[in-house]
Chain A
Amino acid sequence: MDVLITQILNGLDKGSAYALIALGLTLIFGTLGVVNFAHGALFMIGAFCSVFLQRLLNLSFETIDATKTDFLGNPLKVKTPYVESWFGPEMGGAIIDWSVPLAILFAIPVMIAIGFIMERGLIKHFYKRPHADQILVTFGLAIVLQEIIKAFYGANPIQTPAPEALSGVATLAEGIVYPVWRIVYFCFSVAVIGGVFAFLQFTTFGMVVRAGMADRETVGLLGIDIDKRFTFMFGLAAAVAGLAGVMYGPINAPNYHMGMDFLVLSFVVVVVGGMGSLPGAVLAGFLLGILESFASMTQVIELIPGINQIIIYLVAIIILLVRPRGLMGRKGVME
């Protein structure tokens, strides 16, 4: 029983990442009609916003410690971060320790700006092109972005640890322990998803965007510049993916390829949820996350060897056979 509960928690946690990425993908598809294969790269760039801030906060000056030597036998150069020198070791250390949560504030404007640049600079030229062209150009863009990150940060993963206060495990019930940061990640994801839905549901801006998603031409005829709003939505989707990446860093160390690792699964999530359906993407994200976790259980693998590697695709096939539009797909979208 304990294992089942832990696997449900794992599934919710994994599903949180899927849901956040798929939410952005669906937002872009629903508003702009673009199949954005560079969306995984935005998740990765978000994680590297956290790496960047961590390195920025760790910028150091060197002093020589004559009592110690380096690997070549020379006097050891000791590095002290500037923030520790400016604010004292305790305060400076705390600022560095909280670099991941601080990176949220840093990542929001950066990701919105990247989203704007991507949409205005490249993707808008492909709106009227076939989906195959959009896939090719955005996939190419994803590769370019990941190679840029690799050129700066290398191919090895880089740790971005959670703050000390949010590390370790929490005991949820007798025999059930779960990492604190993963609980934080789940709560954060729910808050972001809730925020996006509230924004679309309860603001005039959101109402116009929803109207544009339903009937772009009519909204345009009313004299509303729907393109500008859709560009903003692209920036918002980029920010959502970026935030998912920032917070994911302490779970798995960021590396240049992490976006690609999530991309295919996120597309499956979007298709299973129903193209263009925001609630569908969230529902499918959590559902597939939980199924993937259960499929990794020893008992399940012993029963059906290899099921852990194919479960998501198997479920996707079954759902699409039974409900060709996905779980919550709308009539007329991608048909």
Chain B
Amino acid sequence: MSKTNLTRRGVLKSGAVAGAGVALPTIFTAQSAAAYTNEPTGGSVTLGFNVPQTGPYADEGADELRAYELAVEHLNGGGDGGMMNTFSSKALKGNGILGKKVEYVTGDTQTKSDAARASAKSMIEKDGAVMITGGSSSGVAIAVQGLCQEAGVIFMAGLTHSNDTTGKDKKANGFRHFFNGYMSGAALAPVLKGLYGDDRKAYHLTADYTWGWTQQESIAAATEALGWETVNNVLTPLAATDFSSYIAPVLNSGADVLVLNHYGGNMVNSLTNAVQFGLREKIVNNKDFEIVVPLFSRLMARGAGANIKNIVGSTNWHWSLQDEGSQAFVRSFGTKYGFPPSQAAHTCYVQTLLYADACERAGTFNPCGVAEALEGFEFDGMGNGKTLYRAEDHQCFKDVLVVKGKENPTSEFDLLEVVEVTPASQVTYSPDHPMFAGGQLGSCNPGA
């Protein structure tokens, strides 16, 4: 029999020393390995597409998702390359991003801020998403943008039109390609003056939340500068479905223009109700009564049916544009899905390419590097002419389209016609404009 010197204490001591020895490299390298949140380490990089898959904007969300899938296909070298062929930057090579294959996860915003934050959080923490993008509501965009700032990932906003997104609620990690309420007002005002004159009395119905408030403020300011008078502004509950009791007072208000600061189902219902009450046939102050819908969407226009005919509004992009970039995107999207893309799909597709391009130019996925590459970046070939991602507020400045409901549509997609392409210079404002005041961009957060 041989005698061993093994004791319980000895085993514990040796175990502790050995354990510390094994753990040592990771203890010291854990911090330095992840220089930023979700740094990709394998052969792929994960993007998080946070879109409304349920709820009232589910159709718009589905179109956003189609655009994201197309963008991923193009980034990974599939399909015909779409706008990558027309994009002025040639950093993208069709081999993923920085040589890593692009993968994606999706979340459902439900068009609710809390649900959108929860799904974005899950994609960042569980799926390792290095960038979050998407959405069809300003409330959601602002909420998710704040979360991404805290988490240290880039947020490339989807459809969000409130001034606040790149105004008082702007964040260093957040970027918006879509236009905003101020730009709608600045683009629409001269067209409205040309069409309806400078002596008009406008009655506003406004959705009672961040987007409605800032849009109303923007449109009222732009039209008042023309000489129009704002007779009244009535806030309507977001959950309202029948607007007849809000429309009826318009009839006797002395107003000769009704501005519907509504979007989605609200817009469809309020416009339908306004047409039902014969507003478009009315003559007030010896002028034809007019209706204006400042933010148009083709998907929403389809819901409004014939009521949309000849109604003027603004939009970020439209599939009928004839520039090379737009045509390339419409061709790719239309061939894959069988119908033209919406403006929501366009902005989401472009945002994904812009993010990928920024990573390539920066040579990193680090949000601070990506942000630096996007700030002040000027590009072309993405469907809106020459565009600037302004460094001061992370807002894109580009041409804005003024559109009108088509009198004789030739197909179910042919609902809007472009009345004017308002140049970017006309819709540009200073970073300290009062409508955008109150917030700080802050500094970029890489997380980790």
Interface residues of A (CB under 8 A from B): 2-3, 6-7, 10-11, 13-14, 68, 70-72, 76, 150, 154-159, 161, 168-169, 175, 177-179, 181-182, 251-253, 255, 257-258, 261, 292-294, 296-298, 301, 308-309
Minimum distance in angstroms from B140 CB to a CB of chain A: 15
A157 to B54, CA, bound (A): 14
Given contacts A150-B58, A155-B58, contact A7 B241 (CB under 8 A): no
A33 to B244, CA, bound (A): 35
Q: Which among B253, B276, B319 has the greatest number of chain A C-beta atoms within 10 A? A: B276
CB pair B413–A71 under 8 Å, yes or no, is: yes
Minimum distance in angstroms from A16 CB to a CB of chain B: 11
Q: Which single residue of chain A is at the shortest CB-CB distance from B253?
A: A298
Given contacts A71-B334, A156-B302, A179-B277, contact A76 B410 (CB under 8 A): yes
Q: Which among A70, A150, A292 has the greatest number of chain B C-beta atoms within 10 A? A: A70
Within 8 A of A (CB), among B323-365: 330-331, 334-335, 339-340
**Could you list 5 A-B pairs, sorted by A, with CB under 8 Å?**
A10-B245, A72-B330, A155-B56, A156-B302, A255-B265
Chain A residues with CB under 8 A of B339: 71
A270 to B331, CA, bound (A): 54
CB pair B244–A71 under 8 Å, yes or no, is: no
A255 to B3, CA, bound (A): 84
Chain A residues with CB under 8 A of B59: 154-156
Chain B contact residues, majority secondary structure: helix
Cβ 8 A contact of A156, one of B235, B252, B303: B303
A72 to B335, CA, bound (A): 8
A23 to B241, CA, bound (A): 21
CB pair A179–B58 under 8 Å, yes or no, is: no
CB pair B278–A169 under 8 Å, yes or no, is: yes
CB pair A68–B410 under 8 Å, yes or no, is: yes
Chain B residues with CB under 8 A of A297: 245, 249
CB pair B55–A155 under 8 Å, yes or no, is: yes
Given contacts A157-B303, A252-B241, contact A301 B334 (CB under 8 A): no
Minimum distance in angstroms from B225 CB to a CB of chain A: 25
CB pair A253–B245 under 8 Å, yes or no, is: no
Cβ 8 A contact of B330, one of A71, A150, A309: A71
Chain B residues with CB under 8 A of A178: 277
CB pair B244–A177 under 8 Å, yes or no, is: no
Within 8 A of A (CB), among B238-291: 239, 241-242, 244-246, 248-249, 251-253, 265, 268-269, 272-273, 276-278, 281
- Interface: B304 (CB within 8 A): yes
- Interface: B317 (CB within 8 A): no
- Interface: B300 (CB within 8 A): yes
Minimum distance in angstroms from A160 CB to a CB of chain B: 9
Q: Which single residue of chain B is at the shortest CB-CB distance from A13?
A: B244
A312 to B116, CA, bound (A): 31
CB pair B245–A292 under 8 Å, yes or no, is: yes
A169 to B251, CA, bound (A): 13
Chain B residues with CB under 8 A of A157: 265, 268-269, 303
A70 to B412, CA, bound (A): 11
A72 to B239, CA, bound (A): 38
CB pair B411–A70 under 8 Å, yes or no, is: yes
Cβ 8 A contact of B237, one of A252, A293, A309: A309
Chain A residues with CB under 8 A of B340: 71
Minimum distance in angstroms from A253 CB to a CB of chain B: 6
- Interface: B15 (CB within 8 A): no
Q: Which single residue of chain A is at the shortest CB-CB distance from B238?
A: A309
Chain B residues with CB under 8 A of A292: 245
- Interface: B143 (CB within 8 A): no
Chain A residues with CB under 8 A of B239: 261
Given contacts A156-B300, A177-B251, contact A161 B246 (CB under 8 A): no
CB pair A3–B277 under 8 Å, yes or no, is: no
CB pair B303–A308 under 8 Å, yes or no, is: no
CB pair B303–A182 under 8 Å, yes or no, is: no
Given contacts A14-B242, A298-B232, contact A253 B334 (CB under 8 A): no
Minimum distance in angstroms from A307 CB to a CB of chain B: 11
- Interface: B24 (CB within 8 A): no
Given contacts A3-B248, A155-B57, A155-B58, contact A261 B306 (CB under 8 A): no
Minimum distance in angstroms from B257 CB to a CB of chain A: 16
Given contacts A71-B340, A76-B411, A159-B303, contact A6 B248 (CB under 8 A): yes
Given contacts A70-B411, A297-B245, contact A177 B237 (CB under 8 A): no
Q: Which single residue of chain B is at the shortest CB-CB distance from A301?
A: B234
Minimum distance in angstroms from A245 CB to a CB of chain B: 13
Q: Which single residue of chain B is at the shortest CB-CB distance from A69?
A: B410
CB pair B241–A258 under 8 Å, yes or no, is: yes
Minimum distance in angstroms from B306 CB to a CB of chain A: 7
Chain A residues with CB under 8 A of B191: none
- Interface: B221 (CB within 8 A): no
Chain B residues with CB under 8 A of A168: 278, 281
1/0 per residue B91-112: CB within 8 Å of A? 0000000000000000000000
A175 to B278, CA, bound (A): 13
A257 to B306, CA, bound (A): 22
Q: Which single residue of chain A is at the shortest CB-CB distance from B61?
A: A155
Q: Which single residue of chain B is at the shortest CB-CB distance from A296?
A: B245
Chain B residues with CB under 8 A of A298: 232, 234, 249, 253
CB pair B244–A14 under 8 Å, yes or no, is: yes
Chain A residues with CB under 8 A of B305: 159, 161, 253
Q: Which single residue of chain A is at the shortest CB-CB distance from B319?
A: A71
CB pair B330–A296 under 8 Å, yes or no, is: no
Given contacts A71-B330, A179-B278, A252-B273, contact A159 B246 (CB under 8 A): no
A154 to B63, CA, bound (A): 12
Q: Which single residue of chain B is at the shortest CB-CB distance from A264?
A: B239
- Interface: B299 (CB within 8 A): yes
Chain A residues with CB under 8 A of B320: 71
A14 to B240, CA, bound (A): 12
Chain B residues with CB under 8 A of A3: 248-249, 251-252
Q: Which single residue of chain B is at the shortest CB-CB distance from A252?
A: B269
CB pair A154–B234 under 8 Å, yes or no, is: no
Chain B residues with CB under 8 A of A156: 59, 268, 299-300, 302-303
Minimum distance in angstroms from A33 CB to a CB of chain B: 30
Minimum distance in angstroms from A61 CB to a CB of chain B: 16
Chain B residues with CB under 8 A of A177: 251, 277-278
Given contacts A155-B56, A157-B268, A253-B268, contact A308 B237 (CB under 8 A): yes
Chain B residues with CB under 8 A of A293: 244-245, 248
CB pair B277–A169 under 8 Å, yes or no, is: yes
Nearest 7 CB-CB pairs, A to B? A159-B305, A296-B245, A155-B58, A169-B278, A157-B303, A293-B245, A179-B276
1/0 per residue B365-395: CB within 8 Å of A? 0000000000000000000000000000000
Within 8 A of A (CB), among B408-445: 410-411, 413-414
Chain A residues with CB under 8 A of B334: 71-72
1/0 per residue B52-83: CB within 8 Å of A? 00111111000000000000000000000000
Cβ 8 A contact of B246, one of A150, A175, A257, A296: A296
